[in-house]
Amino acid sequence: MSNVLITKEIPSTAKNYLEEKGHKVKIACGFEDNKALLEEAKKVDALITMLSDKIDQDFLSHAKNLKVISNYAVGHNNIDSNFATKLGIAIGNTPDVLTNATAELAMTLLFAVARNAKSAMRNVSEGKWQGWEPMGFHGVELNAKTIGIVGAGRIGQAMAKMCHHGLNMNILYTARSKKTEFEKQTKAQHVDFENLLSQSDIVSVHCPLTEQTELLFNDWAFKKMKKGSIFINTARGEVHDEGALYDALKSAHLFGAGLDVTNPEPMSPNSKLLELDSAIIFPHIGSATVKAREEMALVCAKNVDLGLQNKPLVGDVNNIYS
Ligand code: GLV
Ligand code: GLV
């Protein structure tokens, strides 16, 4: 029997699965700080972590009993997986099961930004709706526009398909390699970052957070984007510079921005971005559908059970058993 700690409550699918497999499961309700989490982690064989848990070298070298860390997310920049590999700790994530949910959320932000949802909703809720308005709230029509997908992985490709097949859009993308099947399906074109910025009416971020993508969207990048274009980020907030984004919106160089992720996270309630009607901001809810979150919980539990048996995980980040 192994001991598993889940650092915050997730759908009960995870606990049920692990208990059926004979493991002992403890569910915490978050930790005050990393030190408190580490104290509990020292006592268990496996962890199910949230993307907000920082699992760095210091943490890993002190949690001596850990065999598996299963992140309740597809992104895993919160875990030093290279160092975990050296220590023989398997790292898991939850790809595929959240692809549609996250792409749909990116579309939600895109539609909301394009049609001025924030100011339109305020107009009603603040009692300012006087009558049908011929000249107000004119937004951007998305049909046949060009979208640039930064990082055409699963989620980026899913969004591109919705944009191409549903809205007749042209697709540009960046990725480390050309994606032949994706190009066939969507007539997408592989371009460099600068061309993507200067040719797209919408730029949507789907890349992981790495040293190469941190602050990729700086002042230079926002200025390279077309005047009147839209910026969407549902990946990681650290990919954009919040001050540079504010300037690009405030000067009306960009039409708007839709963020599901912020830099830092959580966003400060005093962030100047919150003052802008052109910025629509959600609290990192990309994968938050009932279906995706239940399936993520199950994948996390399977990752733990497999890793404890020295077998390859379902969502395998460092592949130490394959
Ligand atoms: C969410 O951001 C995830 O990486 O799953
Ligand atoms: C990961 O980023 C994915 O696209 O699934």
CA of 127 to the centre of ligand 1 (A): 37
- Structure confidence at residue 130 (pLDDT): 94
Active site residues: 236, 265, 284
Specify whether 84 is located in the same domain as 216.
no
**Average per-residue pLDDT for the chain:** 97
* Percent of the residues in the chain that have a pLDDT greater than 90, as a whole number: 98
- Structure confidence at residue 281 (pLDDT): 98
- Structure confidence at residue 215 (pLDDT): 98
CA of 158 to the centre of ligand 2 (A): 10
Q: Point out the ligand nearest to the CA of residue 74.
A: 1
b (16+ CB within 10 A) / e for 35-59: eebbeebeebbbbbbebebebeeeb
- The Cα angle at residue 97 between residues 236 and 309, in degrees rounded to 5: 100
Query: Is residue 314 one of the residues assigned to a domain?
Result: no
Specify whether 74 is located in the same domain as 200.
no
**pLDDT tens digits, one per residue of 61-94:** 999 999 999 999 999 999 999 999 999 999 999 9
CA of 157 to the centre of ligand 2 (A): 9
Specify whether 105 is located in the same domain as 87.
no
Query: Is residue 110 one of the residues assigned to a domain?
Result: yes
Specify whether 233 is located in the same domain as 121.
yes
CA of 288 to the centre of ligand 1 (A): 10
- Structure confidence at residue 1 (pLDDT): 85
Pocket of ligand 1 (CB under 6 A): 51, 73-75, 98, 286-287
The range of the structural domain enclosing residue 125 comes to: 99-281
Specify whether 84 is located in the same domain as 145.
no
Please compute the mean of the pLDDT values over residues 266-294 and round it to a whole number: 98
Centre a 10 Å sphere on the Cβ of residue 168 and count the other Cβ atoms it contains. Answer: 11
The CATH number for 208's domain is: 3.40.50.720
Pocket of ligand 2 (CB under 6 A): 74, 95, 99, 153-155, 206, 208
**pLDDT tens digits, one per residue of 171-194:** 999 999 999 999 999 999 999 999
- Structure confidence at residue 322 (pLDDT): 83
Specify whether 76 is located in the same domain as 157.
no
Residues in the chain: 322
Pairing of the two strands 279-281 and 90-92 = unpaired
Nearest CA to ligand 1 atom 4: 75
Q: Point out the ligand nearest to the CA of residue 154.
A: 2
CA atoms of 283 and 262, how far apart (whole Å): 8
245 has pLDDT over 90? yes
Query: Is residue 322 one of the residues assigned to a domain?
Result: no
- Domain tally, the chain: 2
Please compute the mean of the pLDDT values over residues 295-312 and round it to a whole number: 98
Specify whether 85 is located in the same domain as 116.
no
Report the residue among 50, 74, 209 best suited for mutation to probe ligand 1: largest number of ligand atoms under 8 A from its CB: 74
Please compute the mean of the pLDDT values over residues 254-259 and round it to a whole number: 99
Please compute the mean of the pLDDT values over residues 40-53 and round it to a whole number: 97
Q: Would the pTM of this model clear 0.95, i.e. be above it?
A: yes
Q: Point out the ligand nearest to the CA of residue 153.
A: 2
- Structure confidence at residue 217 (pLDDT): 98
